C-alpha cells in the first residue's frame, strides 16, 4: 500500500511539473510546442469585459493573439442573450467563425439573416455597415480575427 501511495504521489508530481512546463493553455498563457505556435484550451479562457466606445456593456472578450488596438488580432467573443452590436464598419478585414448561439446578421439596408448556430462570415475592410444580434435564449460565442488594428465606425 505504501508503494502504491508513493507511485501515485510521484505520478502526480510528474504530471503537475509537465503541465507547468507546457503552460496552462489559457489565452493569457497559451501552450506552444515551437516558435510562433499558440494552443489554447477554450474551456480555460480568461474573459475580460469588451470595452469599445459605442458598445453596450455585457460583451466579453478573450484575446488569443495580437492586440485589438495595435495590430492584427484573434479573439473569442461572448455576447449575452439578446445583445446587439449596432450598424458599424471598420478598415480591417473581419473574419468570424460562429461557434455557438443563435444570432441574426443585419445588413446596412436592414435586411436580416437568422442563423441557428455555427457559421463562417468574412467581410473585407471598409465593407458596408453591418450589425448583429445574439438570440434571446443563450449566449453567443464566436472566433473573431482582424487583419489590422480594430477601428469601429458607427
Q: What is the pLDDT of residue 63?
A: 97
Q: How many domains, the chain?
A: 1
pLDDT at residue 126 above 80? yes
pTM for the whole structure: 0.80
Residue 128 lies inside a defined structural domain of this protein: yes
Q: Is residue 62 part of a domain?
A: yes
Burial of 93-116, coded b for 16+ CB within 10 Å and e otherwise, reads bbebebbebbbebbeeeeeeeebe
The enclosing domain of 129 has a CATH number of 2.60.120.10
Report yes or no: 80 and 62 within 8 Å, Cβ to Cβ.
Answer: no
- In sequence order, the 6+-apart residues with CB closer than 8 A to the CB of 90 are 125, 126, 146, 150, 151, 152, 153
Higher pLDDT, 17 or 99: 99
More confident residue, 19 or 137: 137
Residue 90 lies in a domain: yes
The residue whose grid cell reads 471598409 is 126
Amino acid at each position: 500500500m505504501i508503494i502504491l501511495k508513493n507511485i501515485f504521489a510521484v505520478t502526480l508530481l510528474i504530471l503537475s511539473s509537465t503541465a507547468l512546463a507546457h503552460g496552462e493553455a489559457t489565452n493569457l498563457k497559451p501552450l506552444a510546442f515551437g516558435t510562433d505556435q499558440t494552443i489554447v484550451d477554450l474551456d480555460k479562457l480568461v474573459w475580460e469585459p469588451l470595452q469599445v466606445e459605442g458598445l453596450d456593456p455585457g460583451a466579453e472578450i478573450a484575446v488569443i493573439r495580437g492586440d485589438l488596438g495595435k495590430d492584427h488580432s484573434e479573439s473569442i467573443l461572448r455576447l449575452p442573450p439578446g445583445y446587439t452590436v449596432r450598424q458599424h464598419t471598420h478598415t480591417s478585414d473581419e473574419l468570424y467563425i460562429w461557434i455557438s448561439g443563435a444570432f441574426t446578421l443585419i445588413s446596412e439596408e436592414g435586411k436580416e439573416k437568422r442563423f441557428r448556430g455555427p457559421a463562417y462570415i468574412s467581410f473585407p475592410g471598409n465593407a458596408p455597415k453591418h450589425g448583429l444580434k445574439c438570440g434571446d435564449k443563450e449566449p453567443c460565442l464566436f472566433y473573431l480575427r482582424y487583419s489590422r488594428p480594430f477601428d469601429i465606425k458607427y
